[in-house]
Amino acid sequence: RILHNAWITTSKLRESVTFRRIKLQQLRQHAKLTAVLQGQ
């Protein structure tokens, strides 16, 4: 039971980390795009 809960917590944490990583990448790409567009 404890193991099961720990596994769920771990997988939820992993999901949120992945989600944040994706968000960060999107922000970076957006920043690059903005910089390129402003440079023209």
Query: What is the per-residue pLDDT for 27?
Result: 98
Query: What is the per-residue pLDDT for 21?
Result: 98
User: Is the pLDDT assigned to residue 1 strictly greater than 90?
Assistant: no
pLDDT in tens, 4-40: 999 999 999 999 999 999 999 999 999 999 999 999 8
Q: What is the DSSP letter of 34?
A: H
User: In this structure, how many other beta carbons lie within 10 angstroms of the beta carbon of residue 18?
Assistant: 10
User: In this structure, how many other beta carbons lie within 10 angstroms of the beta carbon of residue 19?
Assistant: 10
Give the CA dihedral 22, 28, 29, 34, nearest 10 degrees: 150
Query: What is the per-residue pLDDT for 40?
Result: 83
- Angstrom CA distances, 28 to 1, 14, 31, 39, stand at 41, 21, 5, 16
pTM (2 d.p.): 0.66
